[in-house]
Structure 1
């Protein structure tokens, strides 16, 4: 996997148009096999190229070559009634799981892989007993539709804010807040208005980034690790018989999945309390652990590190070192001077304020630069379309090892067979750009009118309009960051909306409720847009039509708008004291969001000292890094880190950065020892690690749902604390 910083070679005008598919076929080469030899490894999937050892003959191993004999159904044949029926069943199951987690821990894992696996299982059971030759076969495209629909549905259970902003409006949560709990800042949960609100705001995000689908998937070649792993899983399950190499890759994926699943199961036994388990192992020392520097034994992020380009993993680690290794310890020494000594680390008036807003500044700086570049290049391409020039600038996520002439001409190395075939089908069924833009404007217009008049009178129409004007840029930033690192920062952008719109409305005009409602609209848009782009990546790799992906996302979103509130209402009515500390469902993030909204009505003046100054410095720094990357020679540019990847650990911590870097080291060492084998099986191993851990989250959530707790708590203490614990236990005996 190359880490070179190279141009994306798509046609700028292709953000909404088509391509000359004949040209794609002409430039691509079909994988060849030397007679009398086994296929050597060149996984053409993500542009990896390799020359096979032996005979000097260049041979490749292609996923799409294995599937070439199978016809690709039209997009209407991919969205089948049986797929939608299975999707509805799984949507209910996964929404129950996500709702349980939202109201307890507030931490929601990625369940994409589990959705793809269960979709395959249920549809295989459905279609297996019937041996009717005329019956429509179960295809990988139909499997992808189920996965997309389910992810869209259970995504509403998260972005709907039932454990955060939406429940934070309730009287139950307001009674626990210190102030601003008057009637104008409270709205009790009701099934009718929750469903109506979600229908009004959840569909806008589906249209936000559709015109940029080619840019994100084909030109920028964003990896979307979970989407890529899900695609490999689906392709593996549907691989036709007779391909020895493909069967070997599937066996490798299954073995790694089982090992990852069993490792997750083994770790679970030692997590009986907070801060317990292998995931809290202070491998780099207790001081580093307190600054979120530790290896948490997560196979998901080791696998993600093997999929992501090396420069992404290095950038994430550098960001973690800069923030948690240097900046935060230095700022912590200013406690009592820059911010109150009595404030906890989770307070936005203290350390958390620096973490959240500096991370946002870096991500916005990078995202706005990329967005401006895309917009400028698209306009330039349209203006010069008769010359058929390519305008997209270099992006570091393109892992093709290509040689570029100084004039920016087309690459000397043609695209792999997989890339060419996938690009051809991805651009075949277009979603017209006017439809996407018109859909965004139409749905937003309805929302601007209906939300203030029918649901939140405190929220004015110009507030909603401002959200919809900001949302496409933030959605692009979130989808871009998710494509690089697999992290969605939808909640972070929601917190930004709380501050901006809460301060805009102010205390006299129900600023708390306005901030929470604006947070909900913003989170729905940026979360849905990123999920759709990740599903586009899965569809790209399984030859599922973008139209079928879009339609299944729309259907899944509609399911989620009904299923999500209904499941929440079930919990809310069936269990006593939901949202209170003594309840089994305390909804811890609901009070956090409400307190943020209370803080937000006073505006950014409540942030700690020098926070905005540092935000401006890092915002400009992110833009400067991008400009340096664009202007520097290729050999230098490939070594410059990515601001977006650097910014994410500023808020989250460095533990996942260490996991991803370890994955990158494993792949690098493997390529150094045997590049052909690494190219052939690297994605299978990485996808297996992600899939096994992803599948384990399902039984883990079910155990939690039935209140089955692990039997052992394994904690790590310093020597001094251990002596104190021993002494205390001695006094009891």
Structure 2
């Protein structure tokens, strides 16, 4: 019995020892697992902090291999589509949405699809890289950018006879034709590219300017080419395609009900006929809803506030002064009547806002430039020293690799300077033959000052993400227009000078944004420059052709009653007229109101900046407020609906809204925008909608019914 007890005790001891051993092994395994997890987390954190370590194993192709045939073909197709979208916005509200996200996303999708199809057929096995994706995005944005800087919605269309008559001038006009528009764009659109090329190292590496749009685009493209990012991109493309189809089909459905003037869903008196008369209604536009989802909430609210202030308060009050402040016999389109108040008060707000922002950005630019030059001279010696990528331990792995590759493919300074001088000489000789009012010495003066202004715009854009291209254009309108004078075609000279200046400073800031994107995706500066040149050349041909389709398909384009009123064409025309003729032609008390609103725009901006970004969220933006002064509030209501949709979506699921919101908005904008192509083709072919859906008051409906009812004999 004692032996049995001892045996059982030994067995119990053995079992306990085994249990203890097992527990110790479990603890060791758990410790090892925790340690491994910690190591994995540390590695993930390290990779997360270093984007380039993710792509370390992938070879960076040479700059020539980044410029592939498929990239150019895809860029051309997207450029045509985006040019229609930008042109539509140019000719409706003048608000141009940022298409960088859409260009990067669709470029990724189409080239990826191309690559997969060719891989299956075993014809072509070149991998799709983020550098090639950057080339596509750069090319598309450069091309569609010409649709804006080309002035089809402002200075260039403002030269036409149609807009001249709207502004009360029967002479001093130049009607658009494809030939001279393409020629004009080719001789003025490339100068901005050559003017800032020598400054790329200073801006990107020495000054480390952020260029928020270029940086955001780079993060987007880098994200697409990771496994997780590729899955998200596929989902985003799916959402974009879904809402693209919906938007296109909805616009097609609406077309059937637009057989006459003021017909269709776009003229739906949502808030009643009285409100409709003063441009307050929801017009069921998918474009403006999508635009509202992209634009910041304060911009959408500012548009609505501007519409309420003008069409809800000011214009009805001024209309009550008809016969006192201005003649009661004047037509509605006369600038000596109510139309004059609408146009010139809007111009005053735009000029006040533009002058304030110009002064602010220029001051910040000069102060930051002085500080950075001081730092560079005091720390590293001369600014233009032949420097190689720094080996300082302060530089992160990403910055070391990016800087090394960014400085690898240099663009010679002599090439940039020689290109600028050659194109400037050709342009100076050519432009007077296109616009005889624009003398060669006007152009020479513009080209002497243009590089400095292009640098200021590119630098200011790097600090604030705010391009002041239109402000520099307005400066050229007033200076050259006043120099030429009314008797020597000052209006056309000012508008043409605006085009020269706008193209230079706009393309300069766009190129520097693309250099920043290329720097962060390891795309070569040479491939960036060449793709920008190719995209600009595409835009110089595509944009005039797209504008010509609109111009021929819609004979009422530019008129206030048109689907495409081109509001800024009339605004720019009247700016040129004001600069040449002075303020004597304005209606009674219009100048006083202009002074008030000019000062108010500056004061509101001062208040906004004084309160700071966190506390200024409820102060409207004057430039946005000015846009509905001429057009009305209908598009502002649509945009506020889009803003509300995004706001509610963010409250329900912030992550999903941030991930898919831009894709949904882009789908709505692209689908509605691309409908303009078949719509224009139908108009040119003489195919008219079959139905007119119109809204009448009860009394008017009774009178119409009595008129149409046959009388009994």
Smaller-chain TM-score bracket: 0.5 to 0.7
Structure-1 separation of matches of 2:657 and 2:49: 10
Partner of 2:13: none
Listed as ranges, the matches of 1:250-329 within 5 Å are 250-251=234-235, 254-255=238-239, 257-259=241-243, 261-271=245-255, 272-273=257-258, 274-329=261-316
Q: 1:35 to 1:194 in 2, by over 3 A?
A: same
- Cα offsets for 1:262-286 (capped at 9, x unmatched): 1442244224435444444444555
The answer on whether the counterparts of 1:76 and 1:548 sit within 8 Å (CA) in structure 2 is yes
Listed as ranges, the matches of 1:120-199 within 5 Å are 123-124=111-112, 126-131=114-119, 135-156=125-146, 159-160=149-150, 181=171, 189=177, 191=179, 194-199=181-186
Q: 1:125 to 1:703 in 2, by over 3 A?
A: farther
Partner of 1:429: 406
Partner of 1:375: 366
Structure-2 separation of matches of 1:148 and 1:568: 22
1:362 maps onto 2:357 in alignment: no
Number of matched residues?
634
5+ residue gaps, structure 1, are 1-33, 40-56, 390-416
Partner of 2:391: none
Q: 1:633 to 1:285 in 2, by over 3 A?
A: same
Partner of 2:19: none
Structure-1 separation of matches of 2:649 and 2:91: 41
Q: TM-score, normalised by structure 1?
A: 0.65
The answer on whether the counterparts of 1:536 and 1:549 sit within 8 Å (CA) in structure 2 is yes
Deviation at 1:555, TM superposition (A): 1.7
Listed as ranges, the matches of 1:409-424 within 5 Å are none
The answer on whether the counterparts of 1:229 and 1:691 sit within 8 Å (CA) in structure 2 is no
Deviation at 1:258, TM superposition (A): 0.8
Partner of 1:723: 699
1:518 maps onto 2:505 in alignment: no
Deviation at 1:203, TM superposition (A): 1.8
User: Of residues 52, 57, 68 in structure 2, which corresponds to 1:80?
Assistant: 68
Q: 1:326 to 1:386 in 2, by over 3 A?
A: farther
- Cα offsets for 1:55-96 (capped at 9, x unmatched): xx9x9999999878755555544322442344446656776x
User: Of residues 684, 688, 704 in structure 1, which corresponds to 2:660?
Assistant: 684
Structure-2 separation of matches of 1:228 and 1:493: 26
Q: 1:175 to 1:296 in 2, by over 3 A?
A: closer
* Worse-matched range after superposition: 376-385 or 616-625: 616-625
Q: 1:172 to 1:284 in 2, by over 3 A?
A: closer
Structure-2 separation of matches of 1:362 and 1:563: 32
- Cα offsets for 1:613-643 (capped at 9, x unmatched): 5555555555555555555577646665555
- Cα offsets for 1:371-397 (capped at 9, x unmatched): 2212222112222447889xxxxxxxx
1:560 maps onto 2:545 in alignment: no
State the superposition RMSD in angstroms.
Answer: 5.9
Deviation at 1:123, TM superposition (A): 3.7
Partner of 1:701: 677
Listed as ranges, the matches of 1:566-715 within 5 Å are 596=574, 601-628=580-607, 632=611, 636=615, 642-650=621-629, 653-673=632-652, 677-679=653-655, 681-707=657-683, 712-715=691-694
- Cα offsets for 1:224-255 (capped at 9, x unmatched): 9xx979986x778x5554x3x86357425623
Partner of 1:22: none
Partner of 1:29: none
Whose helix proportion is higher, 1 or 2?
2
Structure-2 separation of matches of 1:519 and 1:386: 37
Structure-2 separation of matches of 1:670 and 1:568: 36
* Worse-matched range after superposition: 102-111 or 543-552: 102-111
Structure-2 separation of matches of 1:558 and 1:425: 29
Deviation at 1:535, TM superposition (A): 5.9
- Cα offsets for 1:133-171 (capped at 9, x unmatched): 984312344234234324433544565457876577679
Partner of 2:425: 446
Q: 1:123 to 1:208 in 2, by over 3 A?
A: same
